[in-house]
Amino acid sequence: MTGPGHGMAADIAEQPEVLARLLAPAQADAVARVAAAIARRRPRHVVLTARGTSDHAALYAAYLTEIRLGLPAGLASPSAITVFGARPDLAQALVIAVSQSGGSSDIAEVVTVARASGALTVAVTNNPASPLAAAAELTVDIAAGEERAVAATKTYTAELLALLMLIEGVRAGDGRLPAAERAALASLPSLAAGLLADPTAVDLAQRYRFADRVVTTGRGYAYPTAREAALKLMETSYLPALAFSGADLLHGPLAMADPDVPVLAVVGGGPGGAAMRQVLAKLGERRADIVTVGPADVPGAAARIPVPAVDERYAPLLDILPLQRLALALALARGADPDAPRGLNKVTSTR
C-alpha cells in the first residue's frame, strides 16, 4: 500500500496486535523481570525523561507512579543537564527514559549522567539495540515493530502499556501482576479493535476541516491523552492545537474560548472525569463548541466520541485511538501527508 497516510493508517490499525504482543508471556515476563529488579532497589523517587510523543507517555507514568506507588515523580527537562551542565544527585532515584527510537542523544545523555550519579536507569524503547538502551542499566522493549509513519501512534500506546505493566509490576513487588489486573489488561486488545471499527472520529474530521485552532483538555490520567491528541493534530494536520489540563485551563486560557473555538475534552468515568465537569460548565458558559471523548454523554457537549468504560488507568490506551484516526482523517481532508509531515524526521536530534 502506498499513498498519503497509508503508513499511519497501518500503524494505527496494528495497535490491537501490538498490545496483545506486549501482554503475551514472552514480553510480559521480560517486563516483570525489570519490574522486580526495580522493586528490589527500592527507589525513593522517580524521574522521567522523554521528548515529544514519548513525553506524554512519561507524563502518564508520572501519574501512575504517584498514585499507585506512592513515590514522588517528576519529568526532567533534559536541557538542565545537556545544555546547562546540571549534575543532580540522583542516587536514590529511578530514572525512566522513554524514547521510541532510542536515538535522541539528549535523552541518552541524561541517562548516562543519572547512572553515573547512582540512579537506577531504565530505558523504555522500541529499539533495544539503540544508544539509549546501551546507556541504561535496564531496558524494556515495547516490541511494537517498526513504525511506518513519522507521526508516532502504535509506539505511543505500546509505551503506555509497557509503563503500566512496569509500574504495576513494581507495586506487586515481584513484577507479577495480580490475576484481576491481568484479566482486565487481556481485554484491552479486543476493546481497541472494536473502537477502531467505530466511524465516529473519522466522520468528525468534517467538523474541523476549516478550523484554525482547537483546544484539547483532560485531567489526571486523561491529560496526557489531551496533550498527545494536540501533538497529532499539529504534526499531521498542521492545525494549531492547544492542550491544557482542565485545571490550568481555568487559570487564564479560558478567556480565549468563544463559540468559534472547538474543544476536544477527554472525560472518563472516574475521578478525573468527574473533576472535568467544572471545566466543561465554564466552557459551556463561554459557549465553546465541545466534543467529548468518553463512555457517557456530558451535558452541553455538541457531540461525543464513544469509548469503552474502563478503569481510568486503562482509558489512555483506548481514548487516544479515535483521536489518532481523527488526526489522520483531517490531514487527508486538508491535503497533507501524515506519513511524512513537512519539516519533520523520524528521529529528532536535539541538545
Does residue 290 bind a copy of itself (CB under 8 A)? Answer: no
Interacting residues with a copy of itself between 118 and 177 (CB under 8 A) = 151
Instruction: For residue 151, give the nearest of 80, 100, 202 by alpha carbon.
Output: 100
Does residue 115 bind a copy of itself (CB under 8 A)? Answer: no
Nearer to a copy of itself, 189 or 341 (CB): 341
Does residue 72 bind a copy of itself (CB under 8 A)? Answer: yes
C-alpha cell at 22: 506486549
Binding to a copy of itself by CB under 8 A, coded x per residue (else -) over 182-201, reads --------------------
The only residue of 47, 301, 327, 328 in contact with a copy of itself, by rule CB under 8 A: 47
Does residue 8 bind a copy of itself (CB under 8 A)? Answer: no
Q: Which residues contact 318 (CB under 8 A, 6 or more apart)?
A: 188, 191, 192, 195, 307, 308, 310
CB 84 to a copy of itself: min, Å: 5
Does residue 206 bind a copy of itself (CB under 8 A)? Answer: no
Counting residues that bind a copy of itself (by CB under 8 A) gives 77
* Contacting range for a copy of itself; rule: CB under 8 A; set: 7-15, 170-178, 198-206, 233-241: 233-241
CB 57 to a copy of itself: min, Å: 13
* Contacting range for a copy of itself; rule: CB under 8 A; set: 31-39, 73-81, 156-164, 171-179: 73-81
C-alpha cell at 248: 490550568
Whole-number Å distance between alpha carbons of 101 and 117: 25
* Contacting range for a copy of itself; rule: CB under 8 A; set: 28-36, 40-48, 120-128, 316-324: 40-48
Q: The sheet that has 138-141: what strands, in order across it?
A: 73-75, 45-50, 93-99, 120-125, 138-141
C-alpha cell at 241: 492545537
CB-based contact 94:118 (threshold 8 Å):
no
Nearer to a copy of itself, 58 or 192 (CB): 58
CB 30 to a copy of itself: min, Å: 27
Does residue 259 bind a copy of itself (CB under 8 A)? Answer: no
* Contacting range for a copy of itself; rule: CB under 8 A; set: 12-20, 22-30, 82-90, 136-144: 82-90
The only residue of 88, 103, 284, 300 in contact with a copy of itself, by rule CB under 8 A: 88
Whole-number Å distance between alpha carbons of 205 and 201: 7
